[in-house]
Amino acid sequence: MGLISLLFSHPDQFLVLAVLLLYSIIAHEVAHGWVAYLWGDDTARRYGRLTLNPASHIDPVGLLMLFIVGFGWAKPVPVNYYKLGNSRLALMSVSLAGCAANILIAIIALFLLQFEEVSASPAFSTPLTILVRINIILGAFNLIPIPPLDGSKILMSLLPQEAQHNLARLEPYGFFILALLLFTGVLDPVIRFMQNLIYGFITLLFSLFT
């Protein structure tokens, strides 16, 4: 049953992984809030969401899904897009920030796995290996351009205003659309494509700096 089986087989590894995954979904949301703040929107700060305190972010269902199916979510950080000054670059950067945070976590985990002291210890190597995979899944999944995922807002930043409004109208139905597409497997090749892009990007970075 997903990652829950690790709890019974290797509870020490599960504990390390649980903490790392918890902060992976928190970092995703905080990244949105911080980048929005840099563009002039202090909504997340005023709501006390620019913090790593789990109590401010945890969505119980999203956390449970993370361990059952391999991807989940925290409570979305509030962003007032009107405060971004109608800037396409601001909208894109705020939307990309969460995925970038997940990719950065994957890169850091891969870097740590290069050290023999880490890779030789299953207590750390196993959680870090899973952490890489799940953060890349989180990044890839959120890049799908279906509201309310980040990919939809990235796409909006590239579309004319009327098309933006048409895409935004799908948001109330986004959860059901995503559930249907996931259940039928339609999104599987899309997610794999996004994952391959991210893996390719990380491989390129490692080849440049190692």
Token pair, residue 55, equals 């109590």
- Tokens 């030789």 belong to which residue? 120
Question: What is the pTM for the complete model shown?
Answer: 0.92
The C-alpha atoms of residue 29 and residue 8 are separated, in whole angstroms, by 30
Q: What is the pLDDT of residue 136?
A: 95
Residue 185 domain boundaries: 4-209
The C-alpha atoms of residue 140 and residue 55 are separated, in whole angstroms, by 26
Q: What is the CA radius of gyration of the chain?
A: 18
The C-alpha atoms of residue 146 and residue 118 are separated, in whole angstroms, by 38
- Residues designated as active site: 29
How many domains, the chain?
Answer: 1
Q: What is the pLDDT of residue 2?
A: 64
Token pair, residue 85, equals 């000054």
Q: Give which of 8, 31, 27 is closest to 131, Cα–Cα.
A: 27
Decide: 65 and 33 in contact? Cβ < 8 Å.
Answer: no
Decide: 62 and 29 in contact? Cβ < 8 Å.
Answer: no
The C-alpha atoms of residue 21 and residue 67 are separated, in whole angstroms, by 9
Decide: 112 and 128 in contact? Cβ < 8 Å.
Answer: yes
- What are the mean pLDDT values of the chain's consecutive 10-residue runs (210 residues total)? 81 93 96 96 96 95 85 91 88 96 96 94 94 95 93 93 89 90 90 92 86
